[in-house]
Amino acid sequence: MYEGAVQDLIDELGLLPGIGPKSAQRIAFHVLGADSADVTRLAQTLQRVKEQVRFCRICFNVASEELCRVCRDARRNESVICVVEEPKDVIAIEKTREFRGKYHVLGGAINPLDGVGPDNLRIRELMQRLAEGTVTELIIATDPNTEGEATATYLALLVKPMGLTVSRLASGLPVGGDLEFADEVTLGRAFEGRRTLDV
Amino acid sequence: MYEGAVQDLIDELGLLPGIGPKSAQRIAFHVLGADSADVTRLAQTLQRVKEQVRFCRICFNVASEELCRVCRDARRNESVICVVEEPKDVIAIEKTREFRGKYHVLGGAINPLDGVGPDNLRIRELMQRLAEGTVTELIIATDPNTEGEATATYLALLVKPMGLTVSRLASGLPVGGDLEFADEVTLGRAFEGRRTLDV
């Protein structure tokens, strides 16, 4: 055990995700040796995030104003909504530059083991957006794992009566990957989703 | 790229040791969703560490007063000094409860590739402590790697004229380990340092 504030900092850092006791100790000693101005800036940024950042009133992406950058952008296609689990998924999709519609961030996926049901996600808010009638297509981009698939199926059944086009991102071999190293589920999906080559 | 403060926080966190872009993002989103009071406490602890924690005037261990806990303790043996690289090494040795002397924290090890020479370590301060004449034994507990060994050899040569007992922590097989999994250097050291069994 260290004295006073050092141990407090190690304890506090250890509460962050992915930071074990050894990393917490390493970071605490880095902080001890770091420039005071740098540490102050980190401390202030931590508090500023809590004060300034909120979730977009429409899509629940992170935002610094009432609406996020995507919802503020009038050039984005209002008729397509891409449903994702987390704000970081929005960033990943934005990087592809393939999608020019709007988003809806659920805040997670259905996971009964962790006690996350449909009511814990922003599904009601999605249904309200769809009820407005502007949206014609829904792209479900939840994670390709059990929880993401369950959420996708749940959503697809829920919006079925509304007559929208509902799609799910393709599963298959990662580009640049090696076929022999693909797991059997992915390879099975790649077969299932095979596409005719129009040459 | 996220908006405003979120991206700032990800950038700041990414500067900490052992935190890559993915971990930084994960921690930033944890902070976003965390209780405001918890985040404020972390921010304050960060600044408190910089304000309150200093290095012991005698041994350069972390301290909340002028002297560290070990140097303040009158029951510790003044005549033995254990030389370590970092304050965390003091904690590791304290946990063994094997050592009742004092410490001297060098602040690193000699590493020419990183530009760390004897002048960058607290070797001059160690020599001043030894010159006072109270110390009769020096235990060199720098890390068992190239830099630590070089530092140990350097120190041993430096204090040789003073006629102290100088020792180095034993290298050998880790207790509870498997002989077949030991690397050849460690196994070689274990042979070199073998001890007669008095039965």
Average pLDDT over residues A155-172: 89
Does A71 share its domain with A160? Answer: yes
Give B52-73 pLDDT, tens digit per residue: 888 899 999 988 889 999 999 9
Q: What is the pLDDT of residue B14?
A: 92
Does B78 share its domain with B163? Answer: yes
- Closest partner residue to A52 (CB to CB) among B5, B29, B63 is B5
Q: What is the pLDDT of residue A65?
A: 86
Tokens linked to B187: 């196994």
| Residue A50 with chain B: CB contacts under 8 Å | 31-32, 34, 36, 39-40
ipTM associated with this complex: 0.70
Tokens linked to B183: 């690397």
Does B114 share its domain with B70? Answer: yes
Does A68 share its domain with A27? Answer: no
| Residue B49 with chain A: CB contacts under 8 Å | 5-6, 8-9, 28, 31-32, 39
For chain B, percent of residues with pLDDT exceeding 90:
51
Give A17-61 pLDDT, tens digit per residue: 999 988 998 899 889 888 889 999 999 999 998 888 888 999 999
Q: What is the pLDDT of residue A78?
A: 93
The H-or-E segment that residue A81 falls in is: strand A77-84
Give B35-48 pLDDT, tens digit per residue: 889 999 999 999 99
For chain A, percent of residues with pLDDT exceeding 70:
98
Q: Is B18 exposed, middle or buried (0-12, 13-18, 19+ CB in 10 A)?
A: middle
User: Is A180 among the domain residues?
Assistant: no
User: Is A190 among the domain residues?
Assistant: no
Average pLDDT over residues B148-154: 92
Residue A111 clears pLDDT 70, i.e. is over it:
yes
User: Which letter does DSSP use for residue B116 in this model?
Assistant: B
Q: What is the pLDDT of residue B82?
A: 94
Q: How confident is the model at residue B155 (pLDDT cuts 50, 70, 90)?
A: very high
Residue B1 clears pLDDT 70, i.e. is over it:
no
User: Is B92 among the domain residues?
Assistant: yes
Q: Is B78 on the interface with A (CB under 8 A)?
A: no
User: Is B190 among the domain residues?
Assistant: no
Q: What is the largest CA-CA distance in chain B?
A: 72
CB A58 within 8 A of CB A129: yes
What is the per-residue burial (b if ≥16 Cβ within 10 Å, else e) of A24-49? bbbbbbbbbebeeeebeebbbbbbbb
Q: How confident is the model at residue B194 (pLDDT cuts 50, 70, 90)?
A: confident
Does A31 share its domain with A66? Answer: no
Tally of domains in chain A: 2
Does B48 share its domain with B136? Answer: no
Average pLDDT over residues A174-193: 81
User: Is A192 among the domain residues?
Assistant: no
Which CATH number covers residue A43? 1.10.8.420
Chain A window 9-68: which residues touch B at a Cβ cutoff of 8 Å? Answer: 9, 12-13, 15-19, 23, 25-32, 34, 36, 38-50, 52-53, 62-64, 68
Q: Within a 10 A sphere around the Cβ of A152, how many other Cβ atoms?
A: 22
Tokens linked to B27: 């921690």
User: Is B21 among the domain residues?
Assistant: yes
Residue A52's alpha-carbon distances to A26, A66, A72, in angstroms, are 29, 11, 17
Q: What is the rounded CA–CA span in Å between residue A98 and residue A80?
A: 13
- Residue by residue, DSSP assigns A8-40 as HHHHHHHTSTT--HHHHHHHHHHHHHS-HHHHH
Q: What is the pLDDT of residue B121?
A: 95
Mean pLDDT for all residues in chain B: 89
Average pLDDT over residues B188-192: 81
> B63-70 long-range CB contacts below 8 Å, 24 or more apart?
B63/A3, B64/A3, B64/A4, B64/A5, B68/A3, B69/A3, B70/B94, B70/B102, B70/B103
Does B102 share its domain with B14? Answer: no
Q: What is the pLDDT of residue B172?
A: 83
Does B84 share its domain with B127? Answer: yes
User: Is A108 among the domain residues?
Assistant: yes
Does A48 share its domain with A94? Answer: no
User: Is B143 among the domain residues?
Assistant: yes
Does A88 share its domain with A162? Answer: yes
Does B90 share its domain with B160? Answer: yes
Which CATH number covers residue A70? 3.40.1360.10
Range of the domain at A123: 62-168
Q: What is the pLDDT of residue A5?
A: 84
Does B12 share its domain with B46? Answer: yes
Give A123-147 pLDDT, tens digit per residue: 999 999 999 989 999 999 999 889 9
